[in-house]
Chains A and B, each alone.
With several copies, the nearest count.
Chain A
């Protein structure tokens, strides 16, 4: 299969969706700008015309509401927010309207809208231009939330989001835009609600969300060198999330590390940790570790930014701790015992 970057995969998904279905259009702030979409929408306006790429005024509330209304009138809109921070201006249409609509009217009307929001952090942008607010939306009944970590899923989940008859929040991360991977040329949806086991392992389960899934995979490689065999799950969907895959893995490994690019308190990782402790209570041999942002807004200075965003190192560290407490016989501990025996 050919290789694409994450950003090219997003762009291709848009192009193919626009091509396939006349009901699809994109609306939002910055569609045609050289900055806002980071290449993910490049030239779509040229290829499909401004009539289907509406680069809108700065009116997050009304623009999001319009996308919802258009969806209710038979279109398949993608409403674009170049930063997730700006969703805070569109909470009424997203949470009060789109999320409730199906339930309110007893299924009489779904809202097939895709709300695309970008985690656009780092670069000393500071607290109002760095937020990863996915946990807020994970809490809301009636929404679906997806967070692809690979180019294939960046494409596949956008397709799935668009095909879903419900409001789906699609969250991509600028830090992943340069990542490469195989991407099908055809329009293959990644099923919403299904996690992906990126690496099988026996000693500990690493559950990664969005960019942290990629970091978890890296951590697993480092851990493997130390003889710790980690299973890596890329959650991909946050709502609904794939409890079965996660629980099955944790029941096997007995220990879990959750890596989440959001804040700690009442975040996505809390839900997963709580569920694990409820549903895999008797298999769990060590406390679940949450690797998250600290409970602080994003700083601007690079020094503080470096300390603020955890990566594969922190995940590996958490995994070592979990494995140690779990008392599992890993190749790592077996080796250590063997050496102890040899020197005894």
Chain B
């Protein structure tokens, strides 16, 4: 499905790099907040996996919807979510994207098509299919994307959803970030074979394996899958192989967790998606990113400052929103 040989303009590479560097910088900032104890909610960082979020979301329109899981800071930012609202959410402020109700693991921004990320593994996969069904029923040109990890494949509902998505030819893209681990367990402790790209075959969902640290490869695969979905041809499954640099949760590196993580990490650090993109930019003539980096770092710092200024919830409002009281006025595209 890859359209080899296509040359993309420098701006394309720069924009992708900017997003990856933004995610990286934001995540490093979250890591510090966790280490310092300022962030108290469980944070699952995607450092090392930025190309998947940035590459896939580059192939999406604003009206397309995104669904995520516990490790979704990158998805949220790449789809257009606000940096300040993310930090504020992590810090438990009402200015957070979920009003401080969710913390790191519950992200939403309906105006940017981020319909929800929640931490029950695989939970949003059927939800994404439902959104895709809605688009199809309304004959809208939108598609839905479900992001999930390799661990999610072990949940039966993912298989149920694949069958339904193929049966109804839903405009849906399954994006599996295979970082080889689910928490502390290496894939080989959870499955007999390393073949996640085959998961949809039985259900007639075509699957592709992609180097998840190669921003262009991810984008190409996503673009084709999005096109297929939008054209009415049905769902596609993408296995994006990658690795998380930090531990499963929090800011530690989990060097001694898992079968052979220490050695693997050393190898994967060499595959840094951000550096690879920087090398490409350098080859294309954009050698000095210092200024660009500074701008992004400042934006991140400013967002954090603003987030810190957000108010904490009032105890007295703790029981608000158990139910939606009325239909909210349509305040967003969804």
Contacts and interface: CB of A to CB of B under 8 A. Distances in A.
B6 interface: no
B323 A108 contact: no
Contact of B315 (A102, A107, A304): A304
A82 B191 CA distance: 21
A66 B156 contact: no
Interface string A66-103: 11111111110100000001100100110011000111
A13 B264 CA distance: 36
A142 B189 contact: no
A63 interface: yes
Interface string B106-123: 101010000110111111
Name the residue among B126, B257, B312, B315 with the largest chain A CB count within 10 angstroms.
B126
A114 interface: no
A105 B120 CA distance: 15
Nearest to A85: B120
A77 B127 CA distance: 13
Name the residue among A35, A106, A126, A141 with the largest chain B CB count within 10 angstroms.
A106
A22 B144 CA distance: 21
Nearest to A63: B164
A105 B130 contact: no
Contacts of A32: 184
Interface residues of A, number: 75
A54 B168 contact: yes
A30 interface: yes
A65 B130 contact: yes
A129 B119 contact: yes
Interface string A185-224: 0000000000000000000000000000000000000000
Interface in B89-106: 92-94, 98-103, 105-106
Contact of A107 (B99, B100, B161): B99
B129 A62 contact: yes
A105 B129 CA distance: 20
Interface string B125-165: 11111111111011000001000000110111100110110
Interface stretch (A271-279, A289-297, A333-341): A289-297
A296 B319 contact: yes
A110 interface: yes
Interface stretch (B18-26, B230-238, B286-294, B326-334): B326-334
Given A30-B183, A75-B134, A126-B102, A103 B321 contact: yes
Contact of A57 (B108, B115, B151, B315): B151
A124 interface: yes
A77 B133 CA distance: 11
Contacts of B164: 56-57, 59, 62-63, 66
Given A62-B160, A65-B161, A70-B134, A102 B323 contact: yes
Contact of A109 (B103, B110, B122): B110
A304 B313 contact: yes
B103 A126 contact: yes
Interface string A300-325: 11111011100000000000000000
Given A57-B164, A74-B334, 17 more contacts: A33-B183, A35-B248, A57-B151, A57-B190, A57-B191, A59-B161, A62-B161, A65-B129, A69-B127, A72-B334, A73-B135, A75-B133, A123-B41, A126-B101, A294-B319, A300-B100, A306-B315
8 contacts: A72-B115, A72-B130, A77-B130, A103-B321, A108-B108, A299-B313, A304-B313, A306-B315
Interface of A: 25, 30, 32-36, 51-52, 54-75, 77, 85-86, 89, 92-93, 96-97, 101-110, 112, 123-129, 141-142, 144, 165-166, 294-297, 299-304, 306-308
